[in-house]
Structure 1
Amino acid sequence: MDTKPTRFEALKLVIEAYGTQEAAAAAFRVSQSSISRWLSQSKQLPAEHVIQAETDTGISRHWIRPDIYPVEDAASRLREHAVDQFADLRFVGTDRRAGNGNRPIFLDTLRASR
């Protein structure tokens, strides 16, 4: 499979990996009718069974439930570690008692040295 399967396709792969709906039901400790309902109505594996399915079948949790376990790409890692380097320089209000408008003191010294 070259492309990522849908949640429903991943669910079908999980059930196929167990062999039968009955075997999957026994592994998840639910009834066979629950497995049938997942296939016909919800079309996705309930969240509480994802890790067990991945462990038992080797099918990635990112395929089974990408809404809960999204694939982390380079862009999301960059966003996670991004730091607003200019947050301290933004104007956040005026504090007349402070006399510096809530700006860091070094800005006042920079302006005075010009």
Structure 2
Amino acid sequence: MNAINKAIEIAGSASALAREIGVSTQAICFYRDGKRRLPVEKCSAIERATKGAVTRQELRPDDWAQIWPELVTSPPPNAEVVHG
């Protein structure tokens, strides 16, 4: 199950999730069906709405570390470590 479907299930329905994060039900369905990419600004809203059961990292697996670098707990495998 992908992260959006998990969030919908937790919220109870696509319309319930839409109300929680301030978008239309159609928008949630577009995100679920891959017709639109979930906007960055809605990821933390979903994380809050699901009480952390669906994380920003799950919602944006390809680019979350660039968007929210403060969530990175260790450097990527090929990262250059700068000693100060």
Band the TM-score falls in, shorter-chain normalisation: 0.5 to 0.7
Q: What letter is aligned with 1:62?
A: Q
Q: How far, CA to CA, are the matches of 1:32 and 1:20 in structure 2?
A: 9
Alpha-carbon RMSD across the aligned residues, in angstroms, is: 2.9
Q: May I ask how many residue pairs the two structures share in their alignment?
A: 77
**Cα–Cα, structure 1 residues 80 and 53, in superposed 2: closer, same or farther, change >3 Å?**
farther
Q: Secondary structure at the match of 1:81?
A: coil
Q: How far did residue 44 of structure 1 move?
A: 4.7
Extract unaligned runs of 5+ from structure 2.
66-70
**Cα–Cα, structure 1 residues 62 and 41, in superposed 2: closer, same or farther, change >3 Å?**
closer
The structure, 1 or 2, with the larger RCO (C-alpha pairs under 8 Å, 6+ apart) is 2
Extract unaligned runs of 5+ from structure 1.
84-114
Q: How far did residue 62 of structure 1 move?
A: 1.0
TM-score, normalised relative to structure 1: 0.53
Identity %: 26
2:19 is aligned to 26
**Residues 10 and 63 in structure 1, CA contact (< 8 A), matched pair in contact too:** yes
